[in-house]
Amino acid sequence: MARLLSNIILKGIGGYPVANSARIISGPSYQNGMKYFSTVPNDPDTHEDFRPTSKLESHGLSLKDIVEQDVKDNPVMIYMKGVPDFPQCGFSSLAVRVLRHYNVPISARNILEDPEIKNAVKGFSSWPTFPQIFIKGEFIGGSDIILTMHQNGELKEKLKDITASVEKSE
């Protein structure tokens, strides 16, 4: 009996999947604390005041300007999948772990939230993959390069000014 019930639940009744939903979501939605995006076009009946907008468009800066400002204003800037406290990719996670080893402040932007910023960063650095790490305004590379620099001592040297300024302020 239990096997029959589990087969019905897992396979669905009458060939219909159990998780089938007729609900269409437009724009970002939240489920279990996670943000999801849909490519379904906006509902034409929705007033324009309530339609989703890009967070970055309201600044009046171009995407290139935003990337330039991020890199200039933050000693350690990482464009990654997820955020430092919750990376959503193994490479991003590795880069954050290596950088945290040096106890430096890490500024980050989640490229999964806005595909346009992702493309702007790729254009800015001429580098196709993520994460992308910038230290003191200089493009360093991804997690593999950061790891290699950590292993051969170059990263410690590159971050020593930042580490020293953090220690002085504490």
- pLDDT tens track for 12-37: 444 444 343 333 333 444 444 443 44
- pLDDT score, position 162: 84
| Distance separating the N- and C-terminal Cα atoms of the chain | 65
* 72 band by pLDDT with thresholds 50, 70 and 90: very high
Stronger pLDDT, 141 or 8, i.e. the higher one: 141
User: What is the pTM (predicted TM-score) of this model?
Assistant: 0.64
56, pLDDT greater than 80: no
- pLDDT score, position 38: 42
Beta strands in the chain (DSSP E): 29-31, 34-36, 76-80, 82-83, 86-87, 107-110, 132-135, 138-141
